Structure 1
Amino acid sequence: MLRLEHSWSWLALALAVLLGAKPSACGPPPGPRPNILLLMADDLGIGDVGCYGNTTIRTPNIDRLAADGVRLTQHLAAAPLCTPSRAAFLTGRYPLRSGKWHLGLSCASPDDHCHHPLNHGFDHFYGMPFSMMADCERWELSEKRAVLESRLDVCFQLVALATLTLTIGKLTHLIPGASWTLVIWSAVVCLLLFATSCLVGALIMHADCFLMRNHSIAEQPMRSQRTTPLMLQEVSSFVKRHKQGPFLLFVSFLHVHTPLVTTENFRGRSPHGLYGDNTEEMDWMVGQILETLDTEGLTNSTLVYFTSDHGGSLEARFGNNQYGGWNGIYKGGKGMAGWEGGIRVPGIFRWPGVLPAGRVIHEPTSLMDIFPTVVHLAGGQVPQDRVVDGRDLLALLQGTARHSDHEFLMHYCESFLHAARWHQRDRGAVWKVHFTTPIFQPDGAGACYGQIVCPCSGNRVTHHAPPLLFDLSRDPSEAHALTPDTEPSFHQVVETVARAVAAHRQTLIPVPLQLDAADNTWKPWLQPCCGRFPFCWCDRDADPR
C-alpha cells in the first residue's frame, strides 16, 4: 500500500507502482483496478485553460480530457502555495496537520535522504528534489540569488567603508591604533565578499538545480532545454514497463512555474508571451502522455486526473512583462488563501466507460479528496489513526451522489486561518467568510506587487471584525461583500461558520515547526553534490532529443 502520510511535495516527476492494499468497507468499482495517472501543473491559473473559459491560449489536450470526462468548477487547493498544497494533496489532510511548508532532502548526513520520496511510499522517483527557481535559468526574476547578493552587497559596502575609514585614519593619524595590518585584512575581506557576490548565482544553479533518479543525481546542473523531453521519456518508459498494471503514476510538471522553461519549438507561439508559450507546451506534454496511454492500449483502463497546485502568480512580473497566470473572474492569486483566485484550480477526471463524458460538477471539492479517492480505487482503506480531511469523490463523479461530502472547508495561509466556506445544501448556497485578507500593494491593485507573494500575517494583513461575507453561488468573483442590511442571514451564517471553525480547531494537534531558525539555515555539509562541492557536475542521462 502506498504510504503517503509523510510524503513531501515534489516539483518534477514522482512515479510509483500501486501495491496491494487492504479491502475497503465499501469496496472499489467492480472489475479490475484501474491504472491511476495524476497530472499536476505548477502555478497554473484556472483562467489559463480553454475548458475553463480561456479563448487565446491553446490547450486542446486538456480540453479533450474535460470533454471526455468530468470537470469540476469549484475544485479547491488546501493552501495557496506549492509545498503545503501538495502535502495536503498527498496526505488528504490540511497542511497544518503535517507541518509541511517547504522542501528538503537530507537530515543528518548528505546521503540519509530522510525526506526522499522513496522513504515515504514511492517506489520510483525522477525529478527535482528542490524548488524550481528562477535562479535555475539565471533569470531576471531571481528568488534566492537576488536576496543573497543584496545581503552580500550590504556587507561589502560596510566592509569597504570600514577599510576606507581605517586607511584615512592611518594616513592622518586620526584613529589611534589603526594599523596597516588591519587595513590589509579589511581589504581582503572586502575582496572576498565582492567575489562571493559574483559567484553566488553560479553556485546556486549548481547546488540547487539538478535532477535525481531514485537516490542518485542524474544531471547537475540541470540543463533546462533537455528537461521536458527527459520527463516525457521517463513517463513513456514507466508506462511501458508497468502496462500490465495496475500502477499509480504522479507527474508533477515544472510548467508553468517561473522561470518558465520552454523549449525552442514553443517559444513565440502564444500571444501571451513566454507564459503562454509555456502553458501551450505543458498542454502538448499532456497530449504526449495521453498518446502513450493510447499506444499501449491503456486509455480505457486508466483514470486520468489533471489539476494545478494553486492559482496563478499575479506578482510574477518584471517591467511590463507578466510571467504569471490568469485566474479568470476570481479575485487574488498564488499566496492568497482566502480569495478564490489563489485556491480555485482546474479539476478534470477521465475514465472512459466509468465516468460520464462531458459531466460538469459545481459542488465544492478539494485536492485533499484525491487521496481517499485513490485509496478507494486501489481497494484500500484510509488510515484510521489520524484525521483525514479529504472525501472520496467517486460517487459524486459517477453521478450517484448529488452533493459533495464537504459541508465546511477551511482556507489556511501558512498556519493562519484566513477564511472558511460553508456549503448550505438546503439553500443551494456556498458562503465564504473572510477573517483575514492581505493588504494589496498598491492599494486596490489586487496583488502585492514588489513582493514574491502576499504575507499571511503581521502588519500587511487586515483582520475583519465582523468578518467579510460573500455568497459564492451568486457572486463567485467576491465583488460584493454582504452586510446585515443586505443579507438577512448574515449573523446566522457567521455564527454557523464560527462554530464549525471551533470544532475544526479541536481536531488539531501541534506539530514541529519546519521553518524554525535551525531547520531553515543552509548547511553546506548536507548539500547534494555530484563531485566535490562546489564543483558539482554530472550527466548520466542520454540526450532524448
Structure 2
Amino acid sequence: MLKTTLFLLLTCLSLTAQQKPNIIYILADDLGYGEIGVNGQRSIETPNIDALAANGMNFTQHYAGAPVCAPSRCVLLTGKHLGNAYIRGNDEWAERGEVWNLKAMNENPALEGQRPMPDSILTVAEILQENGYKTALVGKWGLGAPLTESTANKQGFDYFFGYNCQRQAHTLFPTHLWENEERYSLNNKFVDLHQKLPEGLDPYDPASYSDYQLTDYAPEIMHQKALDFLNSTDDEPFFLYYASPLPHVPLQAPDRWVLYYQEKFGLEEPYSGNYYPNRTPRATYAAMVSYLDEQVGDLVSALNAKGQLENTLIIFSSDNGPSYAGGAQPEFFNSAGRFQEKYGRGKGFVFEGGIRVPMIASWPGQIRAGSTSEHISSFYDFLPTVCELLKTSTPETDGISFLPELLGEEQKVHEYLYWEFPEYKGQQAIRMGDWKAIRQNIQEGNLEIELYNLKKDPEELYNLAKEEPELVRQMEELFRQNHHQSDLTKFRMKALGDDL
C-alpha cells in the first residue's frame, strides 16, 4: 500500500528476523481496573493474569484510549489521541439502514460493522507487517464494516477471525463470525438482540434461559483460532492482537465456570433487564472473567510448548472501564478498584473509573519479574513502543514509547495525557502529574472545568477548580491546543468551535 511504502522509505535498518520478538496484545472488553487479583479483586479469580504480573510488570497508571470500544481501539492501533484520531466515538453508521436489526444484518453484510477508517491511516499492524511480522487479529474489530476499505485484513492483519461488528458481539452465540473477508457460520439458531424473558416463563427456573445458552460459543471458537495461529508460526516473528469480547455483556459464559461461581456465591436474584436475561448474573459475570483468564493461561502454555515464551512480549489490558449495563454489577465486584464504577463514573465517562485500565507486560529475561510501574501511559503509546522495539522510524504520533520503562532504562514522561469524547453529552479530560481536569456536558454548552488531585482524591470527589485558578487556566489552554475538529460531523462539538 502507498501509505506503508512511503513510511518505509523513512525507516532505519531493523532487526533480523531471528532477533525480532513476538508480540501478543490481549485486549479485554469492559474489564475494570479492579477486576483482576493483582489489582485487588477478591471475588473473581484470575490466577493466570496475576501470574503474568508476577512474571512481569504491572502498570498502575495506564489509560485506555477512550471510555468506549471503537475509539479506544482506534487510538491503540493508530497512536493518535482523541483530539486527532479519526474515530472518536461508537459510530454505527446508521444512514445505511436497519443497523440494529440483527436479522437484517444477517441477511445483508453491508449493514454490519462500524464506520470505516480511511485507507490512508497507518496502523501499528501495518508497521509490523512491513517489518516482516506475520500479523493476526482474533476477536473484535469494530473499526470498519465488511466490504469497505477498513476491514482488519486491509488495515494490516494477514489473518482475521472474529466479530467484524461490535453490535453483533451483543450476543456471544451469534449465527456467524468472520474469517478474513468471508462469513464463518456457527451452529446457533437465530435469537434477536436484547431479548427479554418471554411472559409465562419462570425466572427462577434455569430451563427458562435455554435460548441464551446455545451451541457454538464465540469466545471458545475464536480462542482455538488464536491457538492455531500461534502453532502456525515457526520461522517468522508474529503479532497477535487478541481482542476478546469478554467480559462485555450479554451475560453468557461456559457452564462449568458458571456452576463454579454459583457454588461460590450462593443464591442470587435473576437479571431481567436489557441485553439478555440471566438466572445468576453475578456468577455468570465472574465466569466470563475467569474464562478469559483461563484463555490467557492457554496462550502462555502454547508459547512455552513452542519454546517461544522468552522471545515474546505479552501485554494485557482492557479497552475501557467497567460497564453498568446488561446485568454487570460493578459496585458489587468493586470493578474499578480504588476508583468509582457507578454510572457516570465508569464506562462512557472520562473519570478514572472509565479510562484507568489494567496493564501488565511480561517478557521473560527482559522485564524484571514482579515489578510495578507508576509510569503514566496510554494506549497511544503502544505504536511508538513497537517502533522503538523494531528500531524503525516512528510516524507522527501523540504517544511516547514505554519500552525503556519495560527494560528498566531511563523513561521519558508525558507532560500530560489528553482525551475528548463527543458522546455521553460531550467530555474532555487531561491528566497532568497528579492533577486531572475534566469537562462534562460540552454538547449542552458547558465549558466549566473541574479539577481533581488524584494523589489525594483518587475517587474524584472534591473539585478544586476554585482553589487553583492558574492551573485551571493552564488546563483550559491545553484543551484548546489538543482539540482539532473531527473530519466526521458526528464527532464534532459546537461549544469547542466546531462546524456542524
* Fold equivalence (TM over 0.5): yes
Deviations 1:164-222 (A, max 9, x none): xxxxxxxxxxxxxxxxxxxxxxxxxxxxxxxxxxxxxxxxx65xxx2111111112576
Residue in structure 1 matched with residue 284 of structure 2 by the alignment:
274
Residue in structure 2 matched with residue 145 of structure 1 by the alignment:
none
Q: Is the 8 A contact 1:106 1:112 kept in 2?
A: no
Q: Given the alignment of the two structures, is residue 471 of structure 1 paired with residue 481 of structure 2, yes or no?
A: no
Alpha-carbon separation, structure 2, partners of 1:364 and 1:470: 16
| Of 151, 155, 158, the match for 1:123 | 158
Q: Which runs of 5+ in 1 are unaligned?
A: 5-19, 139-204, 424-429, 438-455, 517-545
Q: Where does 1:53-452 land on structure 2 (aligned, <5 Å)?
A: 53-100=40-87, 101=89, 102=91, 104=113, 112-132=147-167, 136=171, 210-220=176-186, 225-270=216-261, 271=265, 272-317=282-327, 326-332=335-341, 333-384=345-396, 388-402=397-411, 404-414=412-422, 416-423=426-433, 430-436=434-440
Deviations 1:320-376 (A, max 9, x none): 998998111212444443210000000110111111111111121101111111122
The alpha-carbon distance between structure 1 residues 231 and 217, as it changes in their structure 2 partners (threshold 3 A), is same
Deviations 1:140-184 (A, max 9, x none): xxxxxxxxxxxxxxxxxxxxxxxxxxxxxxxxxxxxxxxxxxxxx
**One-letter amino acid of the structure 2 residue matched with residue 64 of structure 1:** A
Q: Is the 8 A contact 1:330 1:477 kept in 2?
A: yes
Q: Which runs of 5+ in 2 are unaligned?
A: 93-112, 117-144, 189-213, 266-281, 493-500
Q: Is the 8 A contact 2:384 2:401 kept in 1?
A: yes
More strand by share: 1
Equivalent pairs counted in the alignment come to 391
Judge which range, 349-358 or 226-235, deviates more: 226-235
Q: Is the 8 A contact 2:339 2:353 kept in 1?
A: yes
The alpha-carbon distance between structure 1 residues 311 and 321, as it changes in their structure 2 partners (threshold 3 A), is closer
Alpha-carbon separation, structure 1, partners of 2:322 and 2:183: 30
Q: Secondary structure at the match of 1:397?
A: helix
Give identity over the alignment, percent: 28
Q: Where does 1:502-541 land on structure 2 (aligned, <5 Å)?
A: 502-505=480-483, 508=484, 510-513=486-489
Alpha-carbon separation, structure 2, partners of 1:368 and 1:267: 36
Alpha-carbon separation, structure 2, partners of 1:300 and 1:356: 13
Q: Is the 8 A contact 1:106 1:114 kept in 2?
A: no
Residue in structure 2 matched with residue 500 of structure 1 by the alignment:
478
Q: CA deviation at 1:236?
A: 1.5
The alpha-carbon distance between structure 1 residues 350 and 24, as it changes in their structure 2 partners (threshold 3 A), is farther
Alpha-carbon separation, structure 2, partners of 1:314 and 1:135: 15
CA RMSD in angstroms, aligned pairs only: 3.3
Alpha-carbon separation, structure 1, partners of 2:373 and 2:2: 29
Alpha-carbon separation, structure 2, partners of 1:471 and 1:325: 21
**One-letter amino acid of the structure 1 residue matched with residue 185 of structure 2:** E
Q: Is the 8 A contact 1:375 1:382 kept in 2?
A: yes
Judge which range, 349-358 or 414-423, deviates more: 414-423
Q: Given the two structures, how large is their TM-score scaled by the length of structure 1? A: 0.65
Alpha-carbon separation, structure 2, partners of 1:224 and 1:77: 33
Q: CA deviation at 1:241?
A: 1.2
Which has the larger Rg?
1
The alpha-carbon distance between structure 1 residues 500 and 80, as it changes in their structure 2 partners (threshold 3 A), is same
Alpha-carbon separation, structure 1, partners of 2:181 and 2:78: 22
Q: Given the two structures, how large is their TM-score scaled by the length of structure 2? A: 0.70
Q: Given the alignment of the two structures, is residue 482 of structure 1 paired with residue 473 of structure 2, yes or no?
A: no
